[in-house]
Structure 1
């Protein structure tokens, strides 16, 4: 039994009230819940209100508010928090792998002077990567001003965009550590920084892609 547009909108408004305000996640959850309500109505002959209450009761744990990672005040429904957490976990794993690979490459350089040149080269690459990312991110940010859709991608992009200025001091700092321990830490930090820059562009492009889909629908 297919739900009517008004019934779909009823589910949509309920999700908004429960804190699911990102359009990409809301569309995904709405589709699941609508399918389950349709199934309940078809198999148990329940009316829409009864099936609606039953399905939302089954989803109640997913709507429990969970505190944000980096904020004392902000809270999200559990299902929103889970999606943001998964993305953060992916980035942490990629950062660790990238840092390990860079450190291994750094260890293969035996000469002290060549180690310094290795770090200088990475700093130069980091500088141009930062400038390119900042320019592209600014374009995406301006484009997002016209975007009517909200998404987890845009949310994560905006957070990372605001952190760009903080990393500027790291970029323009001319000092290079000369002891091996600090050099390894520096190389690992650069690896994490590369992943951070890539994540900004990735999140921005994912939101643009979602916006196109959202506009069509």
Structure 2
């Protein structure tokens, strides 16, 4: 039995009351919950309210407030949102770490043939251009997202990183001094690569927001 528009709105309001405020996650949960209710209403003679309670009880664990060290132990989210955040954070950390290792291996290999300070200086110049491009994309995407009427988990993750990205502007874009000691050069290359990856990763989050926005407009 197909649910009415009023019943869909009711499900939406209950999800919001349970902390599901991001449109992409809310839509995904609404699709699942509505489908399960429709199946139950075809299989039994219970009312919508009774079937809704049965389905909501099934989803109750996913709606429990939860927190994690990776997202801040003082901040809690419904479990389903926290799990999605953790997957994103761990994926970002892993790829950032792997990118840094690759950059380190390339750097150490090049030092066998060239002066380490020259390599670091060239890396510094190249990284600065990439940082500038990354910040231009960050500004452009942030303005576009702010103008959007949607509140997605991608926007939340993008916004939560803005302070970190802004704090990186001065050391990576305006400090021209090249480290002279090898261990400082290694640290600079590894840290710069890791932060560069994180900055460019923000564009992927913005892209996912825009893709969801386009999906809704086409539906």
Report the TM-score when normalising by structure 1: 0.91
Measure how far apart 1:102 and its partner are: 0.7
CA deviation string 1:29-57 (max 9, x = no partner): 11111111112222233321111001111
- Per the alignment, residue 129 of structure 1 pairs with 130
- Per the alignment, residue 55 of structure 1 pairs with 55
- Per the alignment, residue 44 of structure 1 pairs with 44
- Per the alignment, residue 180 of structure 1 pairs with 182
Name structure 2 gaps, 5 residues minimum. none
| Alignment: residue pair count | 217
Measure how far apart 1:204 and its partner are: 1.5
How is 1:95-114 mapped onto 2 (pairs within 5 angstroms)? 95-111=96-112, 114=115
Whether the 8 Å contact between 2:158 and 2:206 is mirrored in structure 1 is yes
- Per the alignment, residue 201 of structure 1 pairs with 203
Whether the 8 Å contact between 1:149 and 1:214 is mirrored in structure 2 is no
Distance 1:11 1:83 in 2: 21
Deviates more, 1:104-113 or 1:155-164: 104-113
- Per the alignment, residue 215 of structure 2 pairs with 213
Distance 2:45 2:202 in 1: 48
CA RMSD of aligned residues (A): 1.9
How is 1:136-155 mapped onto 2 (pairs within 5 angstroms)? 136-155=137-156
Provide the secondary structure at the position in 2 that maps to 1:74.
strand
- Per the alignment, residue 23 of structure 1 pairs with 23
- Per the alignment, residue 81 of structure 2 pairs with 80
Measure how far apart 1:58 and its partner are: 0.9
CA deviation string 1:142-178 (max 9, x = no partner): 2223211010111111122332220012212223333
Distance 1:98 1:200 in 2: 16
Whether the 8 Å contact between 1:66 and 1:76 is mirrored in structure 2 is yes
Whether the 8 Å contact between 2:67 and 2:73 is mirrored in structure 1 is yes
Distance 1:114 1:39 in 2: 69
Distance 1:106 1:128 in 2: 19
1:191 aligns with 2:193: yes
Deviates more, 1:34-43 or 1:174-183: 174-183
Name structure 1 gaps, 5 residues minimum. none
Distance 2:129 2:58 in 1: 50
Whether the 8 Å contact between 2:71 and 2:86 is mirrored in structure 1 is no
